[in-house]
Structure 1
Amino acid sequence: MKSYRIIIPLFILLFNLPISNSLPISNKTVYVDDENVNGPWDGSIEHPYRYIQQAIDNATSGDTIFVYSGIYYENIIVYKSVDLIGEDRNRVIIDGMRVTKDAVVNITAPDVTLRGFTIENGWCEDEKFWDASGIKIFSSNVKIKGNVISFNRLGVTVATGVTSLTISDNIFIDDGILLGCYVYNKRMTKEDFLHEISNNTVNGKPLYYYKNLYNSIIPKDAGQIILVNCRNVTIRGVNITHTDFSITIAFCSNCTIEKSTITRTDGELILFNSNNNTIQNNVISYTLHGICLDFNSRYNVVRYNDISNSWVGISALTSSNNNLIYRNKLHDNAAGVLLAPLIHYMKPYDNDISRNSIYSNNVGVQIQDGSFNNTIQRNNISKNKEGILLKHSDNNLIRYNYFNRNFPISAIFMNCTTNFWDHNYWNRARILPKIIFGYKTIDGIISPWINIDRYPLKYPPAIYRGNILYVGGRGEGNYSSIQSAISDASSGDTIFVYSGIYHENVTIDKELSLIGENADTTIIDGIGNDTVTILAENIKLSGFTITNATDEEDISTTGIRIVGSNNIISDNIIMDNTIGVFIRRATNITICNNRFYNNGIIISPYDWDENRHIPLYDEYFIHTIEDNTVNGRKIYYLRNQRNISLPSDVGELIAFNCSNITVESLSFTRCDCSLLLIYTDNCEIRNSSFIDDADIWLIDCDNNIFMHNVMSRNLHGVTLDYNSEGNEFLYNNFSYNNWMGVMIEDESNYNIFEKNNFFGNNKWSAFIGYSFMNKWYSNYWDEWIGLRQAYLSFLPKIIFGSPLKNCYRITLPMNFDLHPADKPWLN
């Protein structure tokens, strides 16, 4: 043992001079020296422990462990709250010997400091231990300061649930930081990423960690980038290599990563719980996953990237949904595209994998472990060992793809028999249906199974068209109207519309993306008619103001009328239309991040001029509607919810299959349909106002109570539709509605109206369509003949209606209020 090592701490005890990594003046200091081979070992300066783990095992929480220079071949577990201090970070080396299956330093206790070490070779040749690390942290209040962390599989891995972490002044070589590792405890929150991380470098370049950053551009000299809770941040033109997770985007939105090069990393460009970001025009190679959308990442666009020689090209994992993976070049990977959950009950779904070139991979597209409702369409899937592999994943749609020269197999499925194959091209022209082979396990016995593409294509699909057409602006050849560009476009094209006012009525009848330059300045004015009508599927409409679909003689004029399914309406301003968005018998519509003013959303099984008696199907009402506002207040879309009291910030409510919702003392206005309730029962709506185009519509809803509300100046105050029964209306005011105070139709019976006021309604106070058995008690009716002629006050109030379905030209007495009130109730 070197004698100077005893002299140094004695010198400090005598003179108390401050030096780097100085020893604490305390009886609670334990010493470690790898040169004390023969002992004795008691942790004293004279007899230090030979191994760091020995010192930890014999220390007490609160102690300091001082480690002298040397190479320590061990994997340590810090399970006590101690300070681990190395004499010199360049000469105190903890070496994992490349046999590490967990971490070189595994910190499981809180209140630990690790300073002054080189931590290296946390690696395992067995590739299944992908997260073997230099340091793993599972506890809070940990400080990692002033270390060299090098040549580990991953540098520092931080599990979710860790808070108050400091990582500063470290040098990473061929390593980096992974935050938000949720595989251990299966959860994630924003706090898992909000730490103090500063003044670190990766391969001599800055490690940029930003939280709560807005409207900024990241410097190009980054060695690694971590963004947390950021918005509108651009990463452009960076060149990152030999780190772990090159770029981490956590709880961020509207960020762009583009024109960057990422190569030879042990992780991936990864998104956690991040929405509406764009990743485009990057070149990525030799990584774990090139681009990974993970843990509830939604509505992201991944396009025009070239990803190769990686374990996976692009992946959508754990509950990541509604992402568009479009026109990427994915080649020479183990898998081109992977959809899979890392938590078994959080499946990725509703992702669109379109128009990619997926070739020369082991597997072109792999969908597994319950991933569902994903669409794989118009991709070139060629020269892979397996074109597409589905495992335990149903209800995915595979259509219009070009399968060519995949050997030995184009498509196979395992224990998933209900995927949909439609109009794919299978190596050659086919007249007969194409059989896709697979198997299903029944009672532990593997049985052969088949799926069928009933209409395989005779010719390769048009997977390469995808042109961009421009409307407005000053470019040569730009179109002057949106509709003319749509007419000339092919399915799959994008139409970009420059700022301006476009006075036209747009009909979209083919698969397109219609993108406005800026929602505030790119305006489509419907000049009194439906502004945008969507007839086709797989439309994206984004970045517009949609306005002026108004006609005093047509109550159904609509800003955006949606008939086709699987469409996305996002980031628009929809204002001053008779109806904002009208969805008629369409399925799987996404409406997100839109601002509505003086109109809202209506979902209907029928158009206003259609036969009302159209069968109801659940899928008409199951959509993705989130992050929208109407007149500055939130649009709530609830599905399968119970026991909820609506907050005061609600501007419109759409509730499907809910119960026990309370609406108390709220006000609704200018939102088309303030309450749209479908299959929703046992709710209470009290002391609220629904005024000026704020209709209430119940579709097959039972046993709801409306008390002390005001329904005024709407189309109808309340509509009961499709067998809505047992609802009670007590002490409400139905006044000055443009058509009817109450509309009851389509066998909606056994509803009770008691002590309500009806006055000033334009056509009828109440009207009944093919609904005979409702009860009316002591309501005030301003048109009751008993008010005008006192001698006729013994007569009941007659409620007229039609005895026929969907025919209101024939009106007859239908119900009676036998004892109408002679003066308004004080409601």
Structure 2
Amino acid sequence: MRLLCLLERVVIVLCLQLLSHKGIITVLEGTQRIRIIKLKVTLHLPLNFWRPFFKVIDMKIKVYFSVVFVYLILIAGTVEAATVTVSKNGEANYTIIQEAINNVKDGDTILVYSGNFTENVIVNKSVSIKSNSGNPDDTIIQASNPGEHIFNVTEDDVTISGFKITGASNIVTSPTAGVHLEGVNNSIINNNKLSNNVIGIDLQSSDHNMLSKNTVSDNERGISLTNSNGNDLINNDAFNNRFGIYFWGSKNNILSYNNASSNEEDGIWIEDGSNNNTLRNNMVSNSNDDGILLTESSNNNTMSGNNVTLSLVGVQITDSNNNTVKNNFISNNSRIGISIIRNSSNNTVKDNFLSNNSESIVTESSTNQIYNNKIKEGKIHDTNASQIAFICPFLTVVIFGIAVIFLRKE
């Protein structure tokens, strides 16, 4: 019994210290006062109110654990997050975004009014930073130092939304980004326009984040994930970058309803052990190289429902195994619709519609399964003694070496 009471007292003291440190409560002798800072409400209660829960012994408060602990949790739950404002004209709480971050607490929101801000921002608290208008075109963040990230996020549970972010254009020790997350989880990057950076949005070792409705253009890489897992990329536009969307060593991510168009090299480039990713319902067009590239042991990925057009090669798989390409529309690629080469095996290509590609499907690897694809107006590849060509009125498949082919003629 004494041990239990001692444990109860230790837990309560720790809870009281924590809540007092956060400014949630203040306990006084003779009368107890509960102060809720965010609501600016002070509740005075007489000592008789607390007598069932407190016993005063030598001016020290002994707290009975079971009731008061629950009560303190309920009190803590009433604390609301604060909202502060930032404006260039001095009519808000702050004139600089970094100053606002330095003075808020985890869970608070920073609203930024329309204007042009020149700064590099370190986000080291779990806060939401949003433009007041929700329009990226009128709330612009320009890099003060082009050799640093514009938003450098180092804390979990951050939201950045509604900004035009530009000018992180210099590589000093590493590529700089408009928004950079490193070791960050459960954050949201939403409704931003990022241009003229080395990388638009950069995730390094960051998991379970949401990137949605962003436009990344005129960057070296539009969106880049390195060793980052379980992220969702939804409804983003990536155009006029060198690479639209880039994965390196990143697993279990979902790319859906993105538009990667008119990029200098690849629309979507997935490499170096990027496994178990899902690419579905994306639009990829006008890439000067590959629309979608899987390479360097990127295995067990699934591509479905994508529209891949007007590139050199629609879908390219190299040195990668056990990937599935199904139910995609692949058309008007100047060289090849689907290419599976260089020691790529056990890949499945099925139920795709291929139209007006110079060559429809090419594979030089063994044990790839290709079946139930509808192929229209594909040109016949020139063959030689080392090649096997499967041809029918609506089908052209060219095989280099040995492969298992299942075809449906319609």
Scaled by the length of structure 1, what TM-score is found?
A: 0.25
Bigger relative CO (Cα 8 Å, ≥ 6 apart)? 2
Q: Which of the pair is proportionally richer in helix?
A: 2
Bigger Rg, structure 1 or 2: 1
